[in-house]
Amino acid sequence: MSISIDYLLRRFPGNGQHLILTLHDCTDFAYEPDDPKGRLTNLEAISAAEPEILKAENWKDANKVYCVSGTLHVFTRAFSLALDSGRTITLQELIDVSQAYWTEWSERAQQAG
């Protein structure tokens, strides 16, 4: 999957535009939009729905990835991450970059408020 997270990708060296998420031994991948209700399993239909990811927690079986207008359900043994430049990154690197971004954002918001 190609995921756009511009505000985080700018923090990695290079000019990457997307995060590449590779699912290993994925046995089920579905999107359940909030409206209209239903379950999309066709990859083209899921892509056309353009789910906007908010957060993913607890990468365990039956994982749910919460989106702006629905939920992705991912059943996979493992995953790997890379920048579209080809550089692999770890989940911890992504978490660290994300936490730094939101800490700085919070500090700026407090100063402005």
The 3-state DSSP class for residue 35 equals coil
pLDDT of residue 87: 92
Q: What is the pLDDT along the chain (113 residues), one digit of tens a residue?
A: 899 988 999 999 877 789 999 999 999 999 999 988 899 999 999 999 999 998 877 655 468 899 999 999 998 889 999 999 999 999 999 999 999 999 999 999 999 87
36: how many CB neighbours lie within 10 A of its CB? 5
User: In a 10 Å sphere around its CB, with 0-12 CB exposed, 13-18 middle and 19+ buried, how is residue 67 labelled?
Assistant: buried
